[in-house]
Amino acid sequence: MSGDYRIVEKHEVVPNVHKLVIRDPRIARRARPGQFVLLMSSEKGERIPFTLSDWDVEKGTITLYVLELGISTMKLVGLRKGDSLFSLAGPLGQPAIIKKFGTVVLGGGCFGIGGIYPIAKALKAAGNHVVAIIEARSNYLLFNRENLRSAADEFYVTTSDGSEGMKGHVQDRLIALVEEGKKFDRAYFMGCTFMLMECAEATRPYSIPTGVALNAIMVDGTGMCGCCRVTVDGHMRFVCVDGPEMDGHKVDWEELFTRKRVYREEEAVAYQSHVCRALSGYEMREGGEE
């Protein structure tokens, strides 16, 4: 689909997490909570998925939070305000399930801290009592707090080192709330795969219906390539078209982890060699030898 996909805002909100606001009125008009986009920063770049964290129909923009983890995201966050992406497709995936459940707990970590924001707004608008919990290794890695505070009825922070909020993770705060007498009618989590598994296992003993936003390896985003297949309740599903929201109590987590580790070694080697070449070129330029 044609368009200039211009970056109208870009900055690093916390170390290695970058906020990108991109102009695409078409996606902004059609976006729904829980959906994602696929983008390429350059013609020879990788096509990678990002959860929609916000959108503005009047301005015709969408907001993404990008974690710099490898070559593709390094190149993406290297773009500046005013630059354009090579391609942008979306919105993709099924929207999150939004209806009046009662009391809903949302948990976010990493990019999920941004991604649960539109879901929190939609669930609150549907008449739910929304409890939001976010996690990070330390308080300097937390972001999007003000938006989530405004969208949720209750807002909690957890950090691994105890520098802010409860020491621990999303599931620790959730369990503490349940033990204090809080009843949840629905749970939804977004973040790294390990966090999703841990949170789903935490809600299982309490029989809390739990949705998780899976983040499988993805290529085309239309269910044709099969890269994002995952087993849910014994049946094959495709995260790109059947998800990303799946029943966290029925996901085959071992299979999902195995599939996500397939290219880990190659990705690490490629990233390190790319960084080494970049640094070598920088040093040569600084030394006036290039």
DSSP 91-142: EESPPP--S--SEEEEEEETTHHHHTHHHHHHHHHTT-EEEEEEEESSGGG-
Please state which CATH number belongs to domain 96-213: 3.40.50.80
Please state which CATH number belongs to domain 7-92: 2.40.30.10
Residues in the chain: 290
pLDDT-flagged residues of the chain (< 50) = 1-2, 276, 278-290
> What per-residue confidence (pLDDT) applies to 272?
60
Could you tell me the residue ranges of all domains in the chain? 7-92, 96-213, 216-290
Q: Supply the Cα-derived Rg of the chain in whole angstroms.
A: 19
Given a contact cutoff of 8 angstroms between Cβ atoms, the answer to whether 211 and 244 are in contact is: no
Q: Parallel, antiparallel, or unpaired: how do β-strands 54-56 and 129-136 relate? A: unpaired
pTM above 0.85, yes or no: yes
> What per-residue confidence (pLDDT) applies to 224?
82
